[in-house]
Amino acid sequence: MYRGRLERDLSLWVGKGLLGQETAGALLAEYDSRPASFSLGRVLMALAAVLLAAAILLVVASNWEAIPRLVRVGGILALIWFVHIAAARMLARGATAAAGGLLVIGAMSFGGAISLVGQMYHLSGDEQTVMYLWFAIATISAILFRSAAVTVVAGFLSWASFAVCLENNDTHWIGFDPWMAPVMAMIVIGLVRYTGAERARHLAYLLLIGWLAWLYTLYEEIAVALAFAVGGMAAFVLTALPLRPIASLVRSAGAAPAFYSFLVAVIGFLLLHIEIEDGWGLVVLGVVTLAASVLAIVLRGRDNGAVRYLAYATFAAEMLYLASVTVGSILGTSSLFLFSGLVVALVAWMVIRLERRFSANAQGERA
């Protein structure tokens, strides 16, 4: 999809005389020489690694009663050493897909080894401790081998650890364990930046959002919902403003920080709508929600398609909600749409004027 847009843009620039045909061909050839973001072979290799790792875990779960303990422990440790040595050799040869699959098997085998030793020797401890240790080992493996595949495994283990925490505590806040979810999410984000596993960052952001949503279920207060809306919008504005060093960090992280921070704000507005059902408070909340949607489009609508479509959906849903709940007549609905249209038109006029001014200033600087 991106290659098609790039080819069309290059053809357009060549037609306008902005770019030479040879340069355009060289740029397109350089893009084609890059490793493909999607590789069927890598996907199949990852699926094979997951299936093999699942087979190992199931064998461990069976407890191998007929096999001596020493043989069982030695077998799982030998498997761990074998796959990591083989992965190192594959990396030295440049076979990153095969190395990633072997490292996934190794990371999963660590969990099997922990469970095996625990069930054989009846060691004290709980599932939460096992998940912490498993996540720590996967993190170390991802760092040592700079493996994007193991970073993904660590991302899923962070989710599994959070699920175990909720199950053990019956979804209540008990002790220090609930804090580990955001800590693990930040570790996964660090691994993403170190290993280049760009898609794994979504696991971390979604874990943070899930943790925040769980916090609301604990209290269900309007102050918590307001904190989500205000905090989300504040984080979104910070990602949009050219502030150093935040701007460079956001730019290197792509579109995700702006989208997920705005998503937190949208969730906060939704929770506020649940808490505020009528009266002038609902009208004010509706206007603020519409304004936040317009602000998101103004700040990030051009460069971030995910934010743009989320803002569109939020604006449309809010308009329909206000029309159905707060207005009782066709004339009132018409007035609401008229007022909203005039406000958005005014904002659009201001944005167009600012864009023209910025464009003129940029052209003057180049001249």
Q: What is the pTM of this model?
A: 0.76
On the question of pLDDT at 156 being above 70, the answer is: yes
The three state secondary structure string of 314-364 is HHHHHHHHHHHHCCCCHHHHHHHHHHHHHHHHHHHHHHHHHHHHHHHHHHH
The residue with tokens 């910070």 is 238
Closest CA to 232 of 179, 276, 269, 203: 269
Q: Where are the beta strands (DSSP E) in the chain?
A: none
Task: Pick the more confident residue, 159 or 276.
Answer: 159
Domain boundaries, the chain: 70-209
pLDDT of residue 128 exceeding 60: yes
The pLDDT, as a whole number, for residue 267 is 93
Q: What is the pLDDT of residues 60-99, one digit of tens each?
A: 666 556 667 677 777 778 888 888 898 888 888 888 888 8
Instruction: Quote the CA–CA distance of 286 and 281 in Å, as a whole number.
Output: 9
CA distance 88 to 85: 5
Please state, in angstroms and rounded to a whole number, the distance separating the CA atoms of residues 191 and 142: 7
Amino acid of residue 287: V
Please give the Cα distance from 136 to 127 (Å, whole number).
Answer: 14
Q: How confident is the model at residue 186 (pLDDT cuts 50, 70, 90)?
A: very high
Cα separation, 221 vs 274, whole angstroms: 10
Q: How many residues does the chain have?
A: 367
Question: What is the per-residue pLDDT across 33-60, written as a single tens digit (0 to 9) for each?
Answer: 665 555 556 666 667 777 777 776 666 6
